[in-house]
């Protein structure tokens, strides 16, 4: 059971040849005072897994939450195209971190793992920022870009797990499920 409405997470799991149901969990995603990015994504993923796990206690439940951190500030999904442009300007020519919290539940057993990937953007011109914002691709993505789409042209390098930047670290999910006794591959 995938406790997420994200089409990217659905595509990543499907790429492994898995059959699964999708049941999103509605949780308050407000950042708590003093909460760091790793704690934030861990808490939100666990909350989503708990909601769906309570409805589906017999099966494996996977939930995740992703955020981007630049200069110590959490930036999630840009609410407007103007915000998307501002996010891209902040990321331009810098290194930022992508954190994804992964929460797996099988009955009363659980595996919780946070993965961090470092991403370096190349310097972007105003024309490139405008081009990307006009595509609309970044509006519903943490950090305002999609590395698996046109956003790949913005990224100079990554250090860590590529699929984590997309929204779900497949190696992490496979290993966590294995520890719960569920082989996914």
Query: Is residue 86 flagged as an active site residue?
Result: no
Options 26, 28, 65, 83, the catalytic residue:
65
Question: Distance between CA 175 and CA 184 in Å, rounded?
Answer: 9
- Cα of 183 vs its chain's centroid, Å: 22
- Write out the two tokens for 93: 């020519």
Place of tokens 């699964």: 20
Phi/psi for 19 (5° steps) reads: -105, 130
Let me know: does 90 contact 70? Beta carbons within 8 Å: yes
- Cβ atoms of residues 2 and 45 within 8 Å: no
Q: How far apart are CA 134 and CA 55, in angstroms?
A: 40
The residues annotated as belonging to the active site are 65
């Amino acid at each position: 059971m995938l406790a997420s409405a994200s089409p990217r997470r659905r595509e990543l799991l499907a790429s492994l040849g898995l059959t699964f149901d999708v049941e999103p969990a509605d949780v308050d995603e407000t950042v708590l005072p003093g909460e760091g990015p790793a704690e934030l994504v861990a808490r939100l993923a666990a909350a989503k897994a708990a909601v769906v796990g309570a409805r589906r206690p017999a099966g494996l439940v996977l939930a995740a939450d992703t955020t981007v951190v630049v200069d110590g500030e959490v930036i999630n999904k840009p609410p407007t195209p103007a915000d998307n442009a501002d996010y891209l300007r902040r990321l331009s020519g810098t290194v930022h971190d992508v954190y994804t919290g992964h929460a797996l539940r099988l009955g009363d057993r659980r595996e919780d793992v946070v993965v961090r990937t470092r991403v370096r953007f190349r310097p972007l011109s105003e024309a490139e920022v405008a081009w990307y914002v006009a595509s609309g691709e970044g509006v519903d993505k943490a950090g305002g870009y999609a590395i698996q789409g046109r956003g790949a042209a913005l990224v100079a390098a990554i250090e860590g797990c590529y699929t984590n930047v997309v929204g779900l670290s497949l190696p992490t999910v496979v290993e966590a499920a294995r520890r719960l006794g569920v082989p996914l591959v």
